[in-house]
Amino acid sequence: MSITNVAKASRHTSAGIRLSSQLVNRLAVEVQRSAQARSEIVGLLFGLAEDDLIHIQSFKSFPKTDRNSSKSLQPERLDEFFRVLLIASRTDREVSALGLIGWYSVRASGGLDQSDIAFHDRHFPRLTDVALILSSEEQVDVLLEVYARSAAGLLTQEEHRRGALRLSGGMQAAGPIEMTLSAKGSDERL
């Protein structure tokens, strides 16, 4: 897996993201599962957030969702999945010592859409909360996109912080992966 995108984070316009190698390797398997089943996999991210560095260490998936099924991805259904998984995480030995720091979606295409923004707005109000979107490219590479609110607290298609990297298929991450979320929108003017 070849990747690099490490930079020093600024408190106002960017943030550093560190993904554990175990998380990246497990998510790569989820991307393959999603592509084979032609379904979306959605869940919660757990880790630790400091002022300018967010450590994403683990994830837990919602029950199987099908992007083609309007019922499984309705906001009420996703909100219920969120509540059930959040309660279960408090006694889950893998994530109970970690904080809820965001959510993820494994799907056919990348990018942040209006339903993603609405879900994030309902459940993730902090500047350090992230949305991780993973999509398969050419059935080999994985595009990993991380989104967070702008320094002004906004998460819109026009204003947010974002980082992206491409993971080359067939290899395992040997160590943590670091990337920077950079501003889009009014943050760029600060």
How far is Cα 19 from Cα 38, in angstroms, rounded to an integer?
Answer: 25
For residue 182, give the 3-state DSSP assignment: strand
Q: Name which residue leads in pLDDT, 45 or 2.
A: 45
pLDDT the model gives residue 41: 84
How far is Cα 82 from Cα 119, in angstroms, rounded to an integer?
Answer: 10
pLDDT the model gives residue 81: 93
How far is Cα 122 from Cα 112, in angstroms, rounded to an integer?
Answer: 15
Instruction: Provide Rg for the chain, Cα atoms.
Output: 16
- pLDDT tens sequence across 128-185: 999 999 887 666 688 889 999 998 999 999 999 999 988 876 667 788 889 999 887 5
pLDDT the model gives residue 4: 32
pLDDT the model gives residue 185: 53
Q: How are beta strands 160-167 and 177-184 bridged, if at all?
A: antiparallel
Q: Name which residue leads in pLDDT, 100 or 73.
A: 100
Q: How far is CA 162 from the centre of its chain?
A: 11
pLDDT the model gives residue 70: 42
What are the DSSP calls for 122-177, one per residue?
HH--STT-EEEEEEEETTTEEEEEEEE--TTS--SSSSEEEEEEEEPTT----S-E
- pLDDT tens sequence across 4-43: 332 333 334 567 999 998 888 888 888 877 777 777 889 9
pLDDT the model gives residue 14: 61
